[in-house]
Amino acid sequence: MARYLATRAIYSVLVIFGVAVLVFFLVRLGGDPTALFLPPESSIEEIARFRRQMGFDRPLLIQFGEFVWRALQGDFGKSLRYGEPAMRLVWDRFPATLQLSAVSLLLSVVIAVPLGIAAAVNRDSLTDRVGLFFSLVGQSFPTFWLGIMLILVFSEKLAILPPSGRGTWQQLVLPAVSLAAYSTAIITRLLRSSMLEVMQADYIRTARGKGLSERVVVYRHAVRNAAIPTITVIALQVGALLGGAVITEEIFAYPGMGRLAIQAIANRDFTIVQAFVIFMAVLIVAINLAVDACYVLLDPRLRKS
Amino acid sequence: MKFTFDRALNPEFKAPYFSRISAIKSVEIVDKHTVNFKTAAPFPTMLYSLGEASFAALIVPPKYVAENGPDALQKKPIGTGPYKFVEWVKDDRVVMDANADYWGGAPKVKKITWRPIAEVRTRIAELKSGGIDVAGDIPPEDVPALNAGSTKVITAPSDFLFFFVFDTLKPGPLQNKLVRQALNYAVDADAIQKSILGGIGNRIAITLPTNAFGYDKAWQPYPFDPAKAKQLLAEAGFPDGFTIPLVTRQGRYLKDKEIVEATIGYLAKVGVKVEPKYLEPGVWAQVSEKKARDGISYPGWSGLDPDLVWYPILFTGQYQSYYANAELDALLTKGRQTLDEKERLDAYGKAAAIIKEEAPHIPMFQPSLIYATGSSLNWVPRGDSIVDLRRAEFR
Amino acid sequence: MAEPLLEVRDLVTCFEADGGEIAAVDGVSLHVDAGETLSIVGESGSGKSVTSLSIMRLLPKPAGYIRSGDISFEGEALRDKSEADMRRVRGRRIAMIYQEPMTSLNPVFTVGQQIMEAIELHLGLSRRDARARAIDMLRLVGIPAPEDRIDDYPHHMSGGMRQRVMIAMALSCEPKLLIADEPTTALDATVQAQILELLRKLKRELGMSIMLITHDLGVVAETCDRVVVMYGGKIVEEGDVRSIFRKPLHPYTEGLLASIPRIDETRERLHVIPGIVPNPRDRGAGCRFASRCAYVMDECRARLPELRQIATGRNVACFLAEERNR
């Protein structure tokens, strides 16, 4: 187990390094930020001067080496736009994103788990049909579109929920719902299909043959087994939620990391983009490690005696 | 004042908009209310460059900076404006209170909250549900709906210019004046304005804002005349048209993609096949630096004086200029070296005639800034995109 | 003769499939006497497993359902019982073991938890007592060091061990009837013999009845008192084990007997009878075995032979039965 975790840890470091390489070079593919920081009428000399001041004129590999060296010391550079340490700017906005993602995940699980189980247990029933319909809808509607629709209906027409900002719980409702839709759909579908598979299993027949009530059969014997593949998906959804939060935050003007990242991309604020992507990579790698640990708890077959 | 400019003019300070004030050599204090600017050469557009919208040197208080250090201004700014800074919740809001002691008189709107709401539907929804009072950057297609009920639309002509640039420096059909004129005849800019911009904004006859210094309302754009265009193309030796690249960005300016596509459609009708390339902003900048906007480009520009517009984009050898004409250069140089308005008007009038005839651009529009507000707000927006609420009030 | 422990009369169990209805069990009557081992023999698709699931009322819902017939257990009509009452029968009075010991145990619970679950439910024992009883049961079915193995997960055990656990679980509440559905099919020959021996021994010790469902007449010979042979959802032959082995009257039984593998050769499925069980949809008016029968006559294809008594306790559904009995 310890060895397994050690291997995973090494892989994690490699993954994060790979992400760092990718983000560093990709972010520079779109050109440097000089043009966006200087007025359009700047002369070629002024552009060159700015570039020299910022160090953008040096070979990329040297810049990369410096970036890695500093990042190892926890220094991700200062934001070109805000003049503050990039990682701190990301970190400052993390609580907002965490709140949005956590509420969305909670919402997804609270809706998806009972719905997925109910749909599977009452296969082809009305519950099942309705559940399938909504999960199809939730999966196929882009977050962006759904967000706009929610705003149109609940803010513009009904005027019962504010469409943007952060601070009150009302402001959290629309972004959380639109962000949760996709995850809810995925988790419902997956839990439903795992439950259907598990309910066909021989050990479920055994459990029924023992005289256990259907409730015990479903919730004790089936759910625990169906949970194993579902947990992976839920964990993957954490990544998807954090990623989806980028668009959601933009639509609902929610001041989180995603919004910071989108603006940073638009402004070619390299340091923030780098800090954001690496932060996300570390976060997702950590979540995956946690999921592995969860597996061991849920599935005794993975435990070493 | 002197502190502000000494600070901004110091190269160590790395003022991003340094270029706009670099012509100023020094600032001297004359008395309590007077300063004297010394410039290296005549600087007729200096007042534009010192306006709020140019960001080159906003007035800073020396005492505050001295006491709290240079970073304090960024976190808790202090200035001479009509509003006082209250708080800044990053990416969420900036709150300001009216400055009762403002030299121009206390503003009537007592508190302003600025909120960045990038998504236009969200902005409109906030306005409609009463969450905000003013929303900027309203798409033309939303104007009719917002001009009803509890909201209204206010527009102001911007300082901005939409136009196409021909690369006349590299060999090719665009070096032929007749071809350039033909392409001007080929495009129905009025129809594009009507269908894509909802009729909002001003049609420009020449690449200059209609409210800029020297713009003559009598100037007329090339009329839409595809037959004439074809005839000129044939005269120029291209009876079957030609193929030409076009570079632009997407989502940079209001309806840029739609305008470019519509224009390409008109050009196709006279036999000119345009191959558009949509560039990332950073890539666009790199292409520009290499002077590699081949064929036709759609750059966008702003400025309320011919010197701010024509000099950088038409003067021979300027890095954003794709045109070279010694006669025009002489006129532009004359215009920027004198402070005499008459002389300037004369020089720019002659320059305009050359530009019209030589057709280095297809001038399109001066778009409007479109704001939507609650119907009770009384407010006249400015054209330079600065939301100035000094005179605004709720009825 | 005393009333049988279990009596099934004219059972018809249907499955809904693709808009059609298929009678998987088509008018079966049988009985199991107290202390008796009855074997139901047939190929897959013959309806033998569906018969057992009908008795337990564990047919897959909503596709499968009992159309008609009576099932009486210890004088109680099982079809009339509520679901809650039925749960007090399952595991307590009728227990089942299954073909696949590898998958019949829940992988996420220890074997002890799974045995104790039934004990706590039906016998109302405390956790401690239930655990003690579970250990006793594991010892009874021949699992060494049951005090340790009780906390093992199923994946720690071999197939034979798991089947022993299944048996321990089934017998933990001392049921009157054990339905064993192909209990040894998935096991290799040595383990198979051990399990059958165990069942025989436990039946003697606990005084229960067993309904052994199998396709393998070799298993039947060693274990059972009476045999019911099923084909195409119907009983084709019924009798005590000795007379059936001595003189099979139905050609199908004859085929099954011919296909018993010898202990020293690798097992193969019934390769001796040519053809396959016909699709229930394609059942004609005649004998369902007609298409594969070596003795088939014109009459067999036209009319379904009734199951009828040929001798005492000997029922056969074949037109040639009397002739072959001579």
Structural domain boundaries, residue B336: 160-366
Question: Which range (B23-37, B200-214, C45-59) has the least confidence?
Answer: B23-37
For residue C12, give both structure tokens: 């018809």
pLDDT at residue A263 in the model: 86
Q: What is the DSSP letter of B285?
A: H
A239–B contact, CB cutoff 8 A: no
Residue type, B165: V
Q: Is the dihedral of CA A116, A120, A123, A125 positive or negative?
A: negative
Residue in chain A closest to C59 (alpha carbons) equals A205
Regions in chain A scoring below 70 on pLDDT:
1-2, 30, 35-36, 303-305
For residues B57 and C30, what is the distance between their CA atoms, to the nearest angstrom? Answer: 102
Which domain CATH number covers B120?
Answer: 3.40.190.10
Query: Could you give the 3-state DSSP secondary structure of residue C271?
Result: coil
Contact A96, A166 (CB under 8 A): yes
| The model's pTM | 0.78
Please give the ipTM for the structure prediction.
0.82
A207–C contact, CB cutoff 8 A: yes
Same domain for B291 and B236: yes
Q: What percent of chain A has pLDDT over 70?
A: 96
pLDDT at residue A287 in the model: 85
Which domain CATH number covers C26?
Answer: 3.40.50.300
Mutate to test the interface with B, among A29, A32, A42, A80 (most CBs of B within 10 A): A42
Q: What is the DSSP letter of B316?
A: T
What is the average pLDDT value for chain C, to the nearest integer? Answer: 85
Mean pLDDT of B360-379: 93
Mean pLDDT of C293-309: 87
C91/A211 touch (CB, cutoff 8 Å), yes or no: yes
Q: Is residue C145 part of a domain?
A: no
- Higher pLDDT, residue B259 or B74: B259
For residues B30 and C324, what is the distance between their CA atoms, to the nearest angstrom? Answer: 136
Q: How far is CA B11 from CA A36, A110, A208, A259, B245, in A?
A: 19, 58, 82, 33, 39
pLDDT at residue B57 in the model: 65
- Chains with at least 3 CB pairs less than 8 angstroms from chain A: B, C
pLDDT digits (tens, 9 = 90+) for B316-337: 988 889 999 999 999 999 998 8
Q: Which of A32, A83, A148 sits opposite B74 (nearest CB)?
A: A83
pLDDT at residue B54 in the model: 58
pLDDT at residue C2 in the model: 65
- Give the bridge partners for B28, in sequence order: B36
Number of structural domains chain B divides into:
3
Q: Which of C95, C100, C106 sits opposite A221 (nearest CB)?
A: C106
Question: Which range (A78-92, B13-27, C150-164) has the least confidence?
Answer: B13-27
Provide the pLDDT confidence category of residue C270 given band limits of 50, 70 and 90: very low
Q: Is residue C12 part of a domain?
A: yes
Neighbours of B172 (CB within 10 A): 16
Most confident of B61-70, B237-246, C23-32, C117-126: B237-246
Mutate to test the interface with C, among A122, A206, A299 (most CBs of C within 10 A): A206
Provide the pLDDT confidence category of residue B4 given band limits of 50, 70 and 90: confident
pLDDT digits (tens, 9 = 90+) for A21-56: 998 888 887 677 776 677 777 777 778 888 887 778
pLDDT at residue C164 in the model: 87
Q: How far is CA A95 from CA A254, A270, B204, in A?
A: 12, 22, 49
Same domain for B133 and B16: no
Q: What percent of chain C has pLDDT over 70?
A: 95
Provide the pLDDT confidence category of residue B133 given band limits of 50, 70 and 90: very high
Same domain for B248 and B346: yes
What is the average pLDDT value for chain B, to the nearest integer? Answer: 88
pLDDT at residue B178 in the model: 95
Q: Is the pLDDT of residue B205 over 90?
A: yes
Provide the pLDDT confidence category of residue B63 given band limits of 50, 70 and 90: confident
CATH superfamily for domain A86-304? MetI-like (1.10.3720.10)
Strand ranges in chain B using DSSP code E only, listed in sequence order: 24-31, 34-39, 83-89, 93-98, 111-114, 134-135, 151-157, 160-166, 202-203, 242-249, 272-279, 296-297, 301-302, 361-366, 368-374, 377-378, 393-394
A32/B284 touch (CB, cutoff 8 Å), yes or no: no
pLDDT at residue A126 in the model: 85
Question: Which range (A101-110, B132-141, C255-264) has the least confidence?
Answer: C255-264
Provide the pLDDT confidence category of residue C263 given band limits of 50, 70 and 90: low
Could you tell me the residue ranges of all domains in chain A? Answer: 86-304
pLDDT digits (tens, 9 = 90+) for C222-255: 788 899 999 988 999 999 988 888 888 898 888 8
Number of structural domains chain C divides into:
1
Report chain C residues whose CB lies below 8 A from the CB of A301.
107, 153, 155
Same domain for B240 and B141: no
Question: Which range (A95-104, A239-248, B120-129, C144-153) has the least confidence?
Answer: A239-248
Interface of C with A in 114-133 (CB under 8 A): 114, 117-118, 121-122
Same domain for B178 and B139: no
Same domain for B338 and B316: yes
Same domain for B265 and B249: yes
C166/A213 touch (CB, cutoff 8 Å), yes or no: no
DSSP secondary structure of chain A:
-HHHHHHHHHHHHHHHHHHHHHHHHHHHHT--THHHHS-TT--HHHHHHHHHHHTTTS-HHHHHHHHHHHHHTT---B-TTT-SBHHHHHHHHHHHHHHHHHHHHHHHHHHHHHHHHHHHHTTTSHHHHHHHHHHHHHHHS-HHHHHHHHIIIIIIIS--S--S-SSSHHHHHHHHHHHHHHHHHHHHHHHHHHHHHHHTSHHHHHHHHTT--HHHIIIIIIHHHHHHHHHHHHHHHHHHHHHHHHHHHHHTT--SHHHHHHHHHHHT-HHHHHHHHHHHHHHHHHHHHHHHHHHHHH-GGGS--
Q: Is residue C100 part of a domain?
A: no
Structural domain boundaries, residue C29: 6-83+219-324
